[in-house]
Amino acid sequence: MSAYLLAIDQGTTNSRAIIFNQQGQAVSQHELPLQPSFPNPGWVEQNANDMFHHSLACCTRAIQQLNISPSAILGIGLSNQRETTIIWDKKTGEPIYPAIVWQDRRTSEFCKRLSTPRTVIDIQQKTGLIIDPYFSASKIIWLLDHVAGARQKAERGELLFGTVDTFLIWKFTQGKSHVTDASNASRTLLFNLHTQTWDQDILSQLNIPASLLPTVLDNAADFGKTAAHFLGASIPIAGVAGDQQAATIGQACFQPGMIKATYGTGGFILLNTGHEITHSNRLVSTIAYRLKQQVTFGIEGSIFSAGATIKWLRDTLQLIHSTSELAAMAASIPNTAGVYLVPAFTGLGAPYWDPEARGAILGLTRNSDRKHIVRAGMESVCYQTRDLIETMTRKHTDAIKILRVDGGMAVNDWLLQFLADMLDIEVQRPVCIETSALGAAYLAGLQTGIYQSLEEIAQLWKVEKSFIPNMKNTIRADYYAGWKNAVHKVLT
């Protein structure tokens, strides 16, 4: 009987389930959209229960489509949007408030007050992160202080915190497992990279009860089993990673110096730095993956708005009807005629870290039309990627020669060619661009014995298309100088 791995990929805009065979090929999948809400400027929320119900429905449908027995699935891997924060009642399982999404900026003022020079250095040295609303800690504090009775319940041990992975596992195991993995833990601002434990001093300083927090496991581990009635069998949850770390594994970036970029709602560039922590003032140090208690670290930069920019152009401004129009529209004009779109809808992430910055379209003239604005939106993804990679290469002296890309935007050949031109390096797109789900499946395969090593997994990675830079240096420099000037005008 054939054996399969089921990946749950719970992202910012959709929930997806993909079934992979042992060769890492997707053989069945189903997805459902997940709608965020924006109750105030800079606030982003989601319904946590919808995340679970949609994930369950996607798994059920993927199994039905393949027409297999659920017992043929040897393990489940889980990939999730990171930093998104959920607190729920330990007895009822009901969230006390909607999930506060990673993009949410409501805690900006709190983070400013917390950011004394000594605190900034202390927290960055311990966690690898900067004090910013992006990470989970300030979201936890907001929930405890703004939901009636929450802090008192937390201090009595009646509430549980989790990032999305933890909440889904808790629901799938019917409350038997309150766990997370090291990569998701490393995005909370509460996890000490050196000791690989929750940092008691930070918890005390921020007045966060330790009883809220889940147990931290390796990325390939025993996270519990699904209750049998959910999927028709009790299936081990055997691999878990935050979506960007899962994509790093799916892209087989297992050697120091290898780098991947994922373009979904946001854009995320992660560079493998090996077994040593590399600190950077403008980027974050993070856990790339932890296997058998051996940690591989990375440095990462985050673009808050990548696919979200295109969605805004399509749904809000209605400048395009479908993303399938993008490549032809961009190619129909020689350039943007000086138009730049800075998509700081919820502030700017690395390397600027300006939560108060707001978006702008600059350089408009009477000759500007929708094609210039749409192309400028696409180009902004590439410029922001260069911002991050230049910051990385200043710290990590080895030159980056190849960038592996994935995510929904990676299907766009025009975008990837402009990216290669702007970075002046080769860009590679793999056969499977759903690398977050694939990486989660690989982790489950390691835990269940389908794969014996990372080297075996690396052999499964295949390039589908390479993009080689062919832009003149003078043009590249002019385009990028215009971008830097545009960003300067929105920074606060």
pLDDT at 239: 97
Is the distance from CB of 419 to CB of 428 less than 8 angstroms?
A: no
What is the end-to-end Cα distance of the chain in Å, rounded? Answer: 60
- DSSP for residue 268: E
Average pLDDT value over all residues in the chain: 92
Average pLDDT over residues 300-313: 89
Residue 272 falls within a domain, yes or no?
A: no
- DSSP for residue 433: -
pLDDT at 325: 84
Nearest to 279 by CA among 372, 392, 422: 392
Pairing of strands 45-46, 99-100: antiparallel
Average pLDDT over residues 136-141: 96
Residue 147 falls within a domain, yes or no?
A: yes
Is the distance from CB of 165 to CB of 133 less than 8 angstroms?
A: no
Q: What is the dihedral of CA 85, 90, 96, 102, to 10 degrees?
A: 0
**How many residues can be counted in the chain?**
492
pLDDT at 115: 87
pLDDT at 476: 95
pLDDT at 398: 61
Under the banding of pLDDT at 50, 70 and 90, the label for residue 208 is very high
Residue 413 falls within a domain, yes or no?
A: no
Read off the pLDDT of residues 57-68 as tens digits, 9 standing for 90 and up. 999 999 999 999
Is the distance from CB of 260 to CB of 429 less than 8 angstroms?
A: no
* Percentage of residues in the chain having pLDDT higher than 70: 99
Res 423 pLDDT > 70: yes
Distance of CA 324 to the CA centre of its chain: 24
Under the banding of pLDDT at 50, 70 and 90, the label for residue 353 is confident
Host domain of residue 176: 4-243
Residue 430 falls within a domain, yes or no?
A: no
Average pLDDT over residues 328-338: 92
Apex 354 CA angle, 353 and 355, nearest 5: 110
Under the banding of pLDDT at 50, 70 and 90, the label for residue 265 is confident
Residue 290 falls within a domain, yes or no?
A: no
What CATH number is given to the structural domain containing 222?
A: 3.30.420.40
Res 1 pLDDT > 80: no
Average pLDDT over residues 285-299: 94
Residue 490 falls within a domain, yes or no?
A: no
Q: What is the tally of structural domains in the chain?
A: 1
Is the distance from CB of 283 to CB of 299 less than 8 angstroms?
A: yes
Under the banding of pLDDT at 50, 70 and 90, the label for residue 283 is confident
Under the banding of pLDDT at 50, 70 and 90, the label for residue 91 is very high
Least trusted range by pLDDT, from 144-148, 334-338, 392-396? 392-396
Residue 126 falls within a domain, yes or no?
A: yes
For residues 379 and 475, give the distance between their C-alpha atoms in angstroms, rounded to a whole number.
14
Residue 293 falls within a domain, yes or no?
A: no
pLDDT at 95: 96
Whether the link from the prior residue into 209 is cis, omega within 30° of 0, is no
